[in-house]
């Protein structure tokens, strides 16, 4: 095995490099701050490896193109920010229902609307979960460092491929733009998952008949299976159905395939929660000042812990439930006016006080303000 | 080396961000330290207020931004107006005296003010565009946060081909001039 | 090959009957496409047919190919992903007038501008049929639709002219009345490298026809016969004389660089620079 490479890299750059390492061979996108570096780097890097990049006419088309590309077997990526993420939503729903693996990056900025395009926020947490129409399954991952962005981008592709589901990689302007030391692992040491392909004969193939794990094996377009892919509710054959039983079975299976994989795909870090009276719950860039505040509080003898979810959907409710049993208070710093705190409240089931700390001014929290809150609730 | 926070402030186009990147690379790649570099900028690429930040530490860097800078580079009057307030009692301040004039009595007690005609020195070398590298040399000398050798390696890996000699000269000019200021101080 | 044999060959006969109303022209358009596909020599396992949303877009479900029934207006954007990711595939898009010209208008323009090797067949029945008869950009001026209960005041959009101006390699318009030339245009479109468009004027007796005194398939065909003017003849007519009529025939046939081939050159350049 080769020596790992040490670099200073932007989060957006780490995302690009990791996507390539994960085997991404197709990118379609539309320029939007603060995600544009991903498109620029993909435009430069993809063709070197024989991959393909296209700047589409709009965000909607970009989302459509990555789904089309993925159906030919290409691991596909698109990246955007809040307003563009909204435009992509209809086709994200299409990918959910048709079970097409794709990774969608949203480098969050302040909104609604054009908002503050160069400043960070975490206002798209609920949009990432519920942005598209219908009762759809989705996976949302939120790394909090450049190193983690690299690792979690690979994980995003792995989950998308394994479960045939769109995966949202929720960065924010801080993570996307800051440069940080990163150790790039040797390619041979990476665990890369590729979608299950069918080995059935074309005449026997049922494109939406799932295995035990709830995931149907795929047949790429152009390989002789002549499959039909539709956004209409369909049965195992892939053809539209209006049968209520089959419709029910389809939507339930789409959710169950995630439930079955929940333990594996719900990534959470716990830091000093074991003896903590006060627990911080922070994700993305907010986890950085939270960790700083934790260290300062511990020096003052205050028992503070941190739950840092990387997977925010599915929500890590078991961890919150367990921690809430022991902790007195859970503080949820978010760069929004209280989004994921609702899930923390729900999961903690009244066992601990849940208190929000919110910023929507385009600035990252300072450790001191989190420390102040800790002292206040002590 | 404990957490050390550096803020580079000036006008867009002066190359603060590149200087910040080089400094962070010197620390992270050539000194084996941890480093985070970030920036804020307006929608305009040139002419607006520009700020780059670098945090260097031998431990984990939890909070990636500057809280109270240990070192502040000021390369425009606006930048002083905007970031002069946020300094601590021990902040070392380096001003580009070609563009900004501040006197020791207008900075808080305990802080140390260094003045170098950074842009003028770059002009003397033939290219104003290397002012950021002159500044980088001076920061290296005054802060001691990374070695001159590491910074030089980082500069050479970042600058365009054919400009290596010019940039080396710029780095040396800044470093040597600042060293003589530090020597006077001692 | 007899029609029955062609149907067996190109259709998923188990998905029949189709959803189209009695008298609908879409079966005629699809039949013309089937004959063109047969003659094209396209390998069926290397051909992907993509559609949007609407009556016409249901056609993909019936065809025994790799088929992709997408979201409203976006067929060309999905198809662009398919084609660029695997340029060896033949890609055909089936779309309706509302799908292609209203909600999908931007994708149509840019697919033509890129000149990506996709063949687009527009089933133009002048109306939103699936939702029950609302006007589309192709609805003729002064006709009637459920959303123009006082008469339609918008001008009709000429999609063929748009495709020409945007840089499509091949553009033709036919009708379900002139079915043999329609199929021939489709064949030429399939074989043409670059973005090719065949607009097929189709009839919707149920929603467009009933509102406009043409409530049967025959009357819709009669209307097409009376309103279609061959290009050579149309060139000699004044705007006044062309009022209420439309041009049929081959409207553009030019050779321009094709997008995926150009991207192939990008790949070469990137790899050479790397070395």
What CA–CA distance (Å, rounded) separates B185 from A372? 39
Residues of A in contact with B28 (CB under 8 A): 6-8, 180-181
Please judge whether A222 and C270 are an interchain contact, meaning their C-beta atoms are less than 8 angstroms apart: no
Burial status of residue C238 (CB atoms within 10 A of its CB: 0-12, 13-18, 19 or more): exposed
User: Is the minimum CB–CB distance between A337 and chain B shorter than 8 Å?
Assistant: no
Please judge whether B28 and A174 are an interchain contact, meaning their C-beta atoms are less than 8 angstroms apart: no
A108-129 per-position pLDDT tens digit: 999 999 999 999 999 999 999 9
Closest-CA distance of chain A to residue B8, Å: 15
Residue A238: per-residue pLDDT: 97
Give me the half-sphere count of Cα atoms (radius 13 Å) on the Cβ side of residue A302: 22
Residue C135: per-residue pLDDT: 97
Q: What does the radius of gyration of chain B's CA atoms come to, in whole angstroms? A: 15
Please judge whether B63 and A180 are an interchain contact, meaning their C-beta atoms are less than 8 angstroms apart: no
Residues of A in contact with C77 (CB under 8 A): 56-57, 60-62, 64-65, 68
Sorted by where each begins, the domain ranges of chain A are 5-189, 202-263, 270-377
Residues of C in contact with A69 (CB under 8 A): 81-82, 84-85
**Substitution target from A52, A68, A70, A207 for chain C, most C beta carbons within 10 A:** A68
Average pLDDT over residues B44-59: 84
Q: Tell me how far apart the terminal alpha carbons of chain A are, to the nearest angstrom.
A: 49
Percent of chain C exceeding pLDDT 70 equals 100
Domain that holds residue B49: 4-185
Confidence bin at B46 (pLDDT 50/70/90): low
Residue A3: per-residue pLDDT: 75
Closest CA to C203 of C20, C8, C19: C20
Neighbours of C252 (CB within 10 A): 17
What CA–CA distance (Å, rounded) separates C78 from C82? 6
Confidence bin at B107 (pLDDT 50/70/90): confident
**A5-189: CATH class:** alpha beta
CB C87 within 8 A of CB C114: no
pLDDT-flagged residues of chain A (< 50): none
Please judge whether C106 and A57 are an interchain contact, meaning their C-beta atoms are less than 8 angstroms apart: yes
Residues of C in contact with A226 (CB under 8 A): 44-45, 64-67
In CATH, the number for domain C3-274 is 3.40.50.970
Closest-CA distance of chain B to residue A338, Å: 22
Does C151 sit behind a cis peptide bond, omega within 30 degrees of 0 on the bond before it? no
User: Is the minimum CB–CB distance between A364 and chain B shorter than 8 Å?
Assistant: yes
Please judge whether C67 and A231 are an interchain contact, meaning their C-beta atoms are less than 8 angstroms apart: no
Closest CA to A94 of C78, C54, C62: C78
Residue C149: per-residue pLDDT: 96
Please judge whether A68 and C68 are an interchain contact, meaning their C-beta atoms are less than 8 angstroms apart: yes
Confidence bin at B41 (pLDDT 50/70/90): low
Confidence bin at C127 (pLDDT 50/70/90): very high
Domain at B152, CATH number = 3.40.920.10
C73-108 per-position pLDDT tens digit: 999 999 999 999 999 999 999 999 999 999 999 999
Number of domains making up chain B: 1
Please judge whether C81 and A68 are an interchain contact, meaning their C-beta atoms are less than 8 angstroms apart: yes
CATH level 3 topology of A270-377? Rossmann fold (3.40.50)
Q: Which of residues 58-77 of A touch C (CB under 8 A)?
A: 58, 60-62, 64-74, 76
- State the chains in contact with C (3 or more Cβ–Cβ pairs under 8 Å): A
Is the pLDDT at B186 greater than 70, yes or no? no
A302-354 per-position pLDDT tens digit: 999 999 999 999 999 999 999 999 999 999 999 999 999 999 999 999 999 99
Closest chain A residue to B154 measured between Cα atoms?
Answer: A8
The enclosing H or E element of C235 equals none
Is the pLDDT at B43 greater than 80, yes or no? no
What CA–CA distance (Å, rounded) separates A11 from A358? 24
The predicted complex's ipTM stands at 0.97
Closest-CA distance of chain A to residue C173, Å: 26
Is the pLDDT at B44 greater than 60, yes or no? no
Closest chain A residue to B55 measured between Cα atoms?
Answer: A180
Has this prediction a pTM greater than 0.95? yes
Closest-CA distance of chain A to residue B77, Å: 23
Residues of B in contact with A295 (CB under 8 A): 62
Domains A5-189 and A270-377 share a fold: yes
CB C221 within 8 A of CB C214: no
């Amino acid at each position: 095995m080769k020596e790992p490479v040490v670099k200073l890299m932007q989060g957006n750059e780490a995302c690009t490099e990791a996507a390539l390492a994960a085997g991404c061979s197709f990118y379609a996108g539309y320029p939007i701050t603060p995600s544009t570096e991903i498109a620029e780097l993909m435009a430069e890097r993809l063709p070197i490896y024989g991959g393909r990049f296209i700047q589409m006419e709009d965000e909607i088309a970009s989302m459509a193109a990555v789904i089309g590309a993925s159906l030919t077997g290409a691991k596909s990526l698109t990246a955007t920010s809040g307003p563009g993420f909204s435009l992509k939503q209809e086709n994200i729903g299409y990918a959910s229902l048709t079970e097409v693996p794709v990774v969608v990056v949203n480098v969050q900025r302040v909104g609604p609307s054009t908002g503050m395009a160069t400043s960070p926020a975490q206002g798209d947490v609920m949009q990432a979960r519920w942005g598209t129409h219908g009762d759809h399954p989705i996976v949302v991952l939120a790394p909090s460092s450049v190193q983690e962005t690299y690792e979690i981008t690979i994980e995003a592709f792995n989950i998308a491929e394994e479960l045939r589901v769109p995966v949202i990689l929720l960065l924010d302007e801080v993570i996307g733009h800051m440069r940080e030391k990163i150790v790039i692992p040797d390619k041979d040491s990476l665990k890369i998952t590729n979608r299950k392909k069918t080995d059935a004969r074309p005449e026997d193939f049922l494109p939406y008949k799932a295995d035990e794990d709830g995931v149907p094996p795929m047949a790429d377009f152009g390989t002789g299976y002549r499959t039909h892919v539709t956004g209409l509710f369909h049965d195992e054959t892939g053809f539209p159905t209006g049968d209520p039983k089959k419709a029910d079975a389809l939507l339930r299976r789409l959710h169950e395939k995630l439930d079955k994989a929940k333990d594996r795909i719900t990534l959470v870090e716990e830091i000093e929660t074991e003896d903590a009276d006060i627990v911080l719950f922070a994700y993305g860039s907010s986890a950085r000042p939270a960790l700083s505040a934790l260290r300062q509080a511990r020096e003052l003898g205050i028992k503070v812990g941190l739950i840092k979810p990387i997977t925010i959907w599915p929500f890590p409710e078991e961890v919150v439930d367990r921690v809430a049993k022991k902790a007195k208070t859970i503080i949820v710093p978010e760069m929004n006016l209280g989004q994921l705190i609702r899930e923390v409240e729900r999961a903690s089931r009244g066992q601990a006080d849940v208190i929000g700390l919110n910023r929507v001014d385009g600035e990252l929290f300072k450790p001191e303000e989190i420390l102040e809150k800790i002292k206040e609730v002590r | 080396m404990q957490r050390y926070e550096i803020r580079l402030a000036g006008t867009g186009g002066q190359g603060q961000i590149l200087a910040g990147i080089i400094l962070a690379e010197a620390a992270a790649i050539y000194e084996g330290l941890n480093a985070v570099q970030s920036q804020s900028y307006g929608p305009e690429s040139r002419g607006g207020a520009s700020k780059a930040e670098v945090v260097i530490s031998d431990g984990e860097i939890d909070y990636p931004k500057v809280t109270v800078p240990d070192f502040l580079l000021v390369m425009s009057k606006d930048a002083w107006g905007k970031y002069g307030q946020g300094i601590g009692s021990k902040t070392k301040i380096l001003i580009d005296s070609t563009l900004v004039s501040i006197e020791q009595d207008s900075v808080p007690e305990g802080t140390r003010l260094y003045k170098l005609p950074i842009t003028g020195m770059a002009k003397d070398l033939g290219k104003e565009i290397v002012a950021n590298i002159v500044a980088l040399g001076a920061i290296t000398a005054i802060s001691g946060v990374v070695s001159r050798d590491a910074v030089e390696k980082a500069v050479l890996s970042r600058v365009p081909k054919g400009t290596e000699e010019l940039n080396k000269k710029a780095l040396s000019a800044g470093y040597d001039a600042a060293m003589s200021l530090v020597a006077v101080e001692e | 090959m007899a029609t029955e044999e062609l149907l067996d060959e190109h259709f998923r006969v188990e998905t029949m009957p189709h959803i189209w109303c009695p008298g609908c022209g879409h079966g005629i358009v699809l039949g013309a496409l089937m004959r063109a596909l047969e003659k094209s020599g396209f390998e069926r396992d290397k051909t992907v047919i993509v559609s949007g949303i609407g009556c016409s877009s249901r056609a993909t479900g019936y065809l025994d190919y790799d088929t992709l029934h997408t979201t409203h207006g976006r067929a060309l954007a999905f198809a662009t992903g398919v084609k660029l990711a695997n340029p060896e595939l033949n890609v055909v898009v089936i779309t309706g007038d509302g799908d292609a010209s209203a909600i999908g208008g931007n994708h149509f323009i840019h697919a033509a501008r890129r000149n990506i090797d996709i063949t687009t067949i527009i089933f133009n029945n002048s109306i939103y049929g699936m939702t029950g008869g609302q006007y589309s950009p192709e609805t003729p001026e002064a006709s009637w639709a459920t959303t123009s209960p006082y008469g339609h005041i918008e001008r009709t959009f000429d999609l063929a002219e748009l495709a020409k101006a945007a840089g499509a390699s091949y553009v033709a318009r036919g009708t379900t009345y002139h079915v043999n030339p329609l199929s021939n245009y489709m064949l030429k479109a399939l074989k043409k490298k670059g973005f090719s468009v065949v607009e097929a004027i189709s009839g919707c007796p149920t929603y467009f026809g009933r509102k406009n005194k043409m409530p049967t398939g025959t009357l819709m065909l009669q209307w097409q016969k009376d309103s279609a003017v061959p290009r050579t003849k149309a060139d000699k007519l004044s705007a006044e004389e062309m009022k209420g009529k439309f041009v049929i025939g081959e409207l553009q046939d030019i050779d321009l660089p094709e997008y995926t081939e150009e991207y192939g050159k990008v790949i070469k350049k990137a790899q050479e620079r790397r070395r």
